[in-house]
Amino acid sequence: MRRVLVIGSPGAGKSTFARELAMLTNLPLTHLDAEYWLPGWVRPSGGVWEARVRQLIAPDAWILDGNYTSTVGLRAGRADTVVVLDYPRALCLYRAVRRALGNRRPDRLNLGREPLDFNFLKFIWTFPAVARRQDAELQARPHLKVVRLHSDAQARAWLKTLAPGPDPVGPLL
C-alpha cells in the first residue's frame, strides 16, 4: 500500500480517517479540498484542476483524501488501494451540517466559512448515485485493492490491522 485514495460522501469522515491512516503508514497526505478550492470556496477554472491532480499523483507514495468525481479515474489509475467510506447518508448529512455550522474542518482549510446550501445538502443526500458511478470506475481497474467501510467501528478495526501495538487509534470523529 503506497498510493491510497480515501473517498466517500461529504461528512463521512474522509479527512479524519486519512489523517489517522497517514500517521500509521507514514505516507504523505494531501487533502484534495485544500488543493481544489480557492479562497472563499471558489472553484478553479478550466483544466487547472486536472493538471494539479496529475502533479499530485506523480510521486511514488501518497494518500489523497477527497472525491472530485471528474478525476477519480485519473487518480484510480495510479492508486494501488482505495478506501471507500460508505456511511449512511443521514449520518453524513448530520456531520456535514455540524462541521459547517461549527466551522470545524479536520483538514484545517482556511477558506472562510464552509458553504451550507440546498445544493450541497442535496449532493450528500443523492451521493449514493455518485458512489455507484465511482464503483463502476473502480471495478474497471483490477489492479486496485478496494476496502469498503460502513461505520467508524469498521474503520477503527481496519486501521488497527495496520498498526503495531495494542490500540494506537483513538476515536475517529
Question: What digits encode the pLDDT tens for the residues 123-165?
Answer: 999 999 999 999 988 999 999 999 999 999 999 999 999 976 5
Q: What is the domain partition of the chain in residue ranges?
A: 3-162
Q: What is the pLDDT of residue 46?
A: 67
Mean of pLDDT values over 99-121: 68
Q: What is the pLDDT of residue 169?
A: 45
Distance CA 156, CA 173 (A): 11
Pick the closest to residue 89 from 46, 131, 28 (CA basis). Answer: 131
Mean of pLDDT values over 19-37: 92
Give 39-95 pLDDT, tens digit per residue: 777 888 768 999 999 999 999 999 999 988 889 999 999 999 999 999 999 999 999
Mean of pLDDT values over 99-125: 72
Residues 128 and 66 sit within 8 Å (Cβ to Cβ): no
Q: What is the pLDDT of residue 58?
A: 97
Mean of pLDDT values over 1-14: 95
Min mean pLDDT across 27-31, 46-50, 109-113, 124-128 is at: 109-113
Q: What is the pLDDT of residue 170?
A: 46
Residue the block writes with cell 494501488: 80
Class of domain 3-162: alpha beta
Pick the residue with more confidence: 97 or 114? 97
How far are the Cα atoms of 25, 95, 98 from residue 116, in angstroms, in the given order?
A: 33, 12, 10
